[in-house]
Amino acid sequence: MNQKLNIFHISQYPYHTGGIDTWLHSFLIHNHHRYDITVFCPESLSLKVEAKFDLSVYPSVDIRYMKVINNRYCRLLFSHFYNLYQIYKLRNVINQSSIHLVLSTIPQLPILLLKKIGIIHGKLICSVRGVLSINNEGFNSKWLLAKGLFILEKETLLLPDKLLSNGWDTQSMLKKHFSLKSQVIPNAINYSFLSSYKIRSNSNDKDYKKVLELKKSKKIILHLGTLRTVKEISTIIDSIQALASLRSNDYILLFIGKGNIKKYRQECNEKNVTAIFLGEKANMDYYESTLLADIVINISGGSGLSNSLIECMAFGKIVVAWDKLTFNQVISHGQNGYLAMDQNTLDLAQKINDGLNNSSNIREHDIKASVKKFDWSIINQSWIDVIND
C-alpha cells in the first residue's frame, strides 16, 4: 500500500498555467504511482473554464477544492490565503496522511498554524518558492505594511518540520534575511522531451501561425510569463525602446502569458514599442511559439530557479537576464546566455542586441546541455528522499 501524501497548492489547479502549476503537474506525473496523493486547492473556477493540464495521466490523484476568503483586501495581502475554518473542517481527511507538502509560505499559514497547535498531525514540509515579503509588489512604499509582512513570513517559516528552497538564490535569501537554513531542490523539467521537441506538423494554433508569419521579416524577442509588476515588464519595454538606437527595426516583442495585457499594451504604444500579446496558452501551444523565438528575456524580480527559464534553455534558446544569483545560478555570460548589469536598462538593451546577433557564437547544443542536470529523473530523487526521510 502506497504512503499517503497531501499537497497544499496556492492556485486553482488545473485551471492556471503558472510555473508552480507546471511544477505540480510534472510532480504528479512522476509520483502518482509512488504515493496516494491528495491535492488541496482554493475553490475551482467555473466549469466553463478549460483545464490547462490533462488530469487523466494521473487518475488516482484526488483534487479537493476549499473555499477561500473572498474579501478583496485579504486577497491583496495574502493572495490565496486559505480559509482556516475550511481546513479545520477537513482535518479528518487531512490527518489520514502523515506527510504534508505545502507550496509557498504566507498563503499556507492556516495549515502551518493548525499543525503547530496539534490539530493537523504528521510531518510538514514547506517548499519556499520565493520570499513574499522581500519580493513583494508595491509594499516597499508602505513601511509598516512591509514590516508586518516580513515579521509574519519569518514566523511562518519557523513552523515547518523541513524547509526547502527551489533555488540557490532563495536559499541565500532565507539565510540572509531570516537566518534560516534550507535544502535546495530546484525546479525540474522533462529534459529529453523538451530538448528534442519539434513543431507539430498538424498544429492548428492560430497564434503560432501568426508568429510564423512575423518571423519571415522580424526577429522574435520573447517574454514568457505572467504580466505583472514583479516580472519587470515595464523594464523590458524600456529596454526594447532603447534597442531602437542600436539596430534597425528588424525585431518585434512577443509576450505569452496571462495578466494585465491592456495596461502593458498601452505602455508599449506610448513608448513606440511594437509588441504582440498572445495571452495565456496551454503548454503545447506556447512550446511552438517559443521555438520560433530568436531570444528570450527573463528578468523576473522574484526568486527561485524559474521553470520557464530552464524550459526555454532546454529548447536551446538564448536567454537574456540580469547578472544576479537568480539567473547566474544557471546562466554563464557568453557561454549559454547573456547577462546584463542588474537593473541597468541600457545594458539590458545592449545584451538583447548581443543576443540577437549572438555575438559570442553560443551554440544551441551548449545551451541545452547546461540544463540537462535539471531533468525530473535526477531532481525527483531528492523529493523522494525528503518525503521518505
pLDDT band at 203 (very low <50, low <70, confident <90, very high): low
C-alpha grid cell, residue 342: 542588474
The per-residue pLDDT for range 98-136, each reduced to its tens digit, is: 899 998 776 677 788 888 888 889 999 999 987 777 765
Which residues, at least 6 apart from 238, have a Cβ–Cβ distance to it below 8 Å?
A: 271, 345
> How large is the average pLDDT for residues 253-273?
95
Q: How far apart are CA 224 and CA 279, in angstroms?
A: 10
173 in a structural domain = no
The kind and range of the H/E element at 94 are helix 91-94
Mean pLDDT is lowest, of 126-140, 164-178, 203-217, 234-248, for 126-140
Summarised one tens digit per residue, pLDDT across range 216-235 is 999 999 999 889 888 999 99
Structural domain includes residue 275: yes
- CA distances to 33, 98, 110, 384 from 3, in Å: 10, 8, 24, 11
The single-letter code of the amino acid at 258 is K
Shortest CA distance to 189 belongs to which of 279, 99, 108, 290?
290
C-alpha cell at 84: 482556516
- Cα(276)–Cα(207) distance, rounded to whole angstroms? 10
Poorest-confidence range of 50-54, 172-176, 246-250?
A: 50-54
Give residue 357's domain range.
191-373
Are 209 and 118 within one domain? no
pTM of the model: 0.89
Q: What percentage of the chain carries pLDDT values higher than 70?
A: 89
Bigger pLDDT: 382 or 200?
382
**How many domains is the chain built from?**
2
Q: From residue 106, how far is each of 128, 151, 174, 333 by CA, in Å?
A: 10, 11, 14, 35
CA distances from 341 to 45, 243, 351 (A): 41, 16, 9
What is the structure's pLDDT at 47?
Answer: 52
Least confident of 63-77, 231-245, 261-275: 63-77
The Cα–Cα gap between 348 and 344 comes to 6
Give yes or no: residues 95 and 214 share one domain: no
CA distance 58 to 29: 6
68 plus 27 within the same structural domain: yes
* Assigned domain for 337 exists: yes
In this predicted model, what pLDDT tens digit does every residue of 149-198 receive, in sequence order?
788 888 888 889 999 999 999 999 999 989 999 999 999 999 999 999 98
The enclosing domain of 292 has a CATH number of 3.40.50.2000
Output the pLDDT for position 243.
97
Q: pLDDT category, 73, cuts 50, 70, 90?
A: very low
Q: Within a 13 Å sphere around the CA of 83, how many CA atoms are in the beta-carbon half?
A: 13
- On whether residue 255 sits in a domain, the answer given is yes
Residue 185 backbone phi and psi in degrees, to 5: -125, 100
Residue 382 lies in a domain: no
**Residue 76, pLDDT score:** 44
Nearest CA among 90, 81, 8, 20 for reference residue 53: 20
Q: Same domain for 154 and 209? A: no
- Claim to verify: residue 210 and residue 284 sit in the same structural domain: yes
Closest residue by Cα to residue 234 from 328, 134, 345 = 345
Of the candidates 101, 124, 98, which has an alpha carbon nearest to the alpha carbon of residue 113? 124
Query: Is residue 128 domain-shared with residue 224, that is, in the same domain?
Result: no
Residue 174 within any structural domain of the chain: no
Which one is predicted more confidently, 92 or 241?
241
| pLDDT, average across residues 11-28 | 89
Q: Are residues 369 and 273 in the same domain?
A: yes
Q: What is the structure's pLDDT at 96?
A: 87
Model confidence band, residue 202 (pLDDT cutoffs 50, 70, 90): low
Same domain, 254 and 143: no
Q: Tell me which of 108, 140, 160 is where a domain ends.
A: 160
Instruction: State whether 318 and 204 are in the same domain.
Output: yes
Peptide bond into 14 cis (omega under 30): yes
Residue 283, pLDDT score: 64
224 & 148 share domain: no
**Same-domain check for residues 290 and 338:** yes
Lowest mean pLDDT across 28-42, 46-60, 135-149, 263-277: 135-149
Q: Tell me whether residue 241 is in a domain.
A: yes
Say if residue 335's pLDDT is above 70.
yes
Q: Report yes or no on 107 lying in a domain.
A: yes
pLDDT of 331 over the 60 cut:
yes
Residues 232 and 367 in one domain: yes
